[in-house]
Amino acid sequence: MLKKSTLCISIALCMMLLLSYTVLGKWEKSRKDDLEGYLRGIYFINEKTGVAVGDYGIITVTKDGGASWQNVESPVKNDLWSVYFIDEKMGWICGDRGTMLLTKDGGESWRKQDSVSTALLFGVFFLNERNGWAVGQNGTLIATENGGRIWASLAAGATGAAIGEGEPSLTDVHFITPRKGWVVGDNATIKMTTNAGKTWVVQHDMTIGGIDNNLTGVDFVNETTGWAVGEGGAVLHTADGGNTWTQQNSTVTEWMYGVDFVSETDGVIAAEYGTILHTTDGGATWAVDLSGKQQGAPKYKFFSISFPSPKSAFAAAEWGLIMKYTP
């Protein structure tokens, strides 16, 4: 009887391990961990072309879907935190000390822009070749209406407050139209604007919301449907443009740094301790695609994730590691 029970347990454990390896099989190394610093931002323009950025001004580009990566010359040595493209040619990077960079050739070359900020810029987003926004340390919030030739501080944000001064930091930004967008940040902050950022309405924070976790990522697929993620496995969802935000069960407690949805149902989240989550039902349920708690999985912190199509996703991590997902 004992032998039969032991055999059943062994079979169950083997099935669990096999399931873990099956899940892990979806994510493979696209770029090995060979850098001294971290890759903090990644963006794929399509399934083939992507750019990742990180510490010490590193910019690395792929044109073959992550099969190979080539570092390109960077005009700065500051840490870079976020990258965003509007098409196959035009994109921006932001980072430490108010760094703002522009490319017009798909990431092959970059030049500086004056962001009017000296703060660490955590996130940048452009809706088209003219309208862009960036957020950062101590409530920094800047915008441009001419592709970054001129950046200006918005009334709701600062441009160069010293560390420990000013408002809670803003960590990510997303716009759906030239006038309507959201920012997220410390103390569970979610703000929305309907006038291109001239004024902002607090939709969620630690005083009016159900959580007090710091938020580090936001993504909307249309004017009503969006997600915000952050500390302690927090996932917030709205289906009414942010008038109400409800918690989704992520099933984990790791800090989540990036979220990207390719449709109203299909999305991914990048988190610490080698964790990547995936949903195919709009976040009603979240599956752990990758976890550092699984045997053989990388335990690196994933800072950013890009989901260009249902057929592929890419996550950037510590020490230059990039993981690629294929169904």
Q: What digits encode the pLDDT tens for the residues 291-310?
A: 887 766 668 999 999 999 99
Confirm whether 318 is domain-assigned: yes
Alpha-carbon gap, residue 25 to 31, rounded angstroms: 16
- pLDDT tens, residue by residue, 35-74: 889 999 999 999 999 999 999 999 999 999 999 999 999 9
Helix ranges (H only) for 154-264 are none
Confirm whether 97 is domain-assigned: yes
Element (H, E) at 127: none
Q: Is the pLDDT reported for residue 321 higher than 50?
A: yes
Confirm whether 20 is domain-assigned: no
Q: Is the pLDDT reported for residue 158 higher than 90?
A: no
Under DSSP, is residue 168 helix (H, G, I), strand (E, B) or coil?
coil
Q: What are phi and psi of 139, to 5 degrees?
A: 80, 15
Q: How many domains does the chain have?
A: 1
Is residue 255 within 8 Å of 231, Cβ to Cβ? yes
Confirm whether 13 is domain-assigned: no
Confirm whether 21 is domain-assigned: no
Instruction: Supply the mean pLDDT for the chain.
Output: 89
Range of the domain at 309: 29-325
Please give the pLDDT value at position 156: 54
Alpha-carbon gap, residue 302 to 274, rounded angstroms: 6
User: Percent of the chain having pLDDT more than 70?
Assistant: 87
Distances (CA, A) of 116 to 144, 233, 259: 11, 34, 28
Please give the pLDDT value at position 139: 93
pTM of the model: 0.88
Confirm whether 18 is domain-assigned: no
Please give the pLDDT value at position 120: 97
Is residue 71 within 8 Å of 110, Cβ to Cβ? no
Confirm whether 272 is domain-assigned: yes
Q: Cα–chain-centroid distance for residue 143?
A: 19
- Side chain identity at residue 39, one-letter code: L
- pLDDT tens, residue by residue, 178-233: 999 999 999 999 999 999 998 999 999 888 777 889 999 999 999 999 999 999 99
- pLDDT tens, residue by residue, 239-285: 999 999 999 999 999 999 999 999 999 999 999 999 999 999 999 99
Confirm whether 204 is domain-assigned: yes
- Per-residue pLDDT band for 155 (boundaries 50, 70, 90) equals low
Distances (CA, A) of 309 to 48, 183, 327: 10, 24, 11
Average the pLDDT over 140-152 and give the result: 96
Helix ranges (H only) for the chain are 2-24
Please give the pLDDT value at position 232: 96
CATH code for the domain in which residue 256 is found:
2.130.10.10
- pLDDT tens, residue by residue, 85-142: 999 999 999 999 999 999 999 999 999 999 999 999 999 999 999 999 999 999 999 9
Is residue 94 within 8 Å of 107, Cβ to Cβ? no
Is residue 28 within 8 Å of 289, Cβ to Cβ? no
Tokens linked to 50: 């992507």
